[in-house]
Structure 1
Amino acid sequence: MPRKDPGPSVKDKDMYEALRDDGASKEKAARISNAAAGSSRSKVGRKGGRAGDYEDMSKDQLMDRARDIGIKGRSRMTKKELISALRNH
């Protein structure tokens, strides 16, 4: 059975569906597919590299990052759990 249409805010629906099939969250799939629609897919793949490793960040920095992207239950998480939640969001 086909999935429900992701809505008008998703610009590249094929990429969105492929990312969802690979296990990405709705938010992450929309973020990546919209970035690809705004430029080219190859440029999106080369983006990044500006942020450091999560292991090098303090717990406060990880908490701020988790708050920015809306991870629930972050106040009770350890540093290791925060890193896992950020990587899998």
Structure 2
Amino acid sequence: MESANANPSIKDEDTYQSLREDGASKEKAARIANALANDRQNPGKKGGKQPPHEYWSKDELYERAQELGIDGRSDMDKSELIKALRNH
């Protein structure tokens, strides 16, 4: 486990480490940990309103991958797009 000073951009090291242990990417874990540490954000009150990716069309998945800048999205099939989005 890294010390709290190892990455000063992480505002809540315990949450970050817990998310990483649960399989979240470094970027995703950092975003969530920092949002939870920010009094002006309420990440737990957002989200959860979209249906699971399996219900999205391939075009919808592609558009979301494009918004997030996922490389290689044009060569991905629907299941690969879902995996890329979940791992982002």
Which TM-score band applies after superposition, normalised by the shorter structure? 0.7 to 0.9
Superposition map of 1:1-89 within 5 A: 2=2, 5-8=6-9, 10-39=10-39, 44-89=43-88
Matches of 2:26 and 2:7 in 1, distance apart? 9
**How big is the shift at 1:71?**
2.0
TM-score for the superposition, normalised by structure 2? 0.74
* TM-score normalized with structure 1 length: 0.74
Q: What is the root-mean-square deviation in Å for CA atoms of aligned residues?
A: 2.5
Between the two proteins, the alignment pairs up a number of residues equal to 86
Structure 2 residue runs without a partner (length 5+): none
Q: Where in structure 1 do 4 or more consecutive aligned residues deviate above 3 Å?
A: 1-4, 43-46
Q: Residues of 2 paired with 1:14 and 1:53: CA distance?
A: 28
Letter in 1 for 2:46: K
Q: Which runs of 5+ in 1 are unaligned?
A: none
Distance in 2, matches of 1:5 and 1:45, equals 26
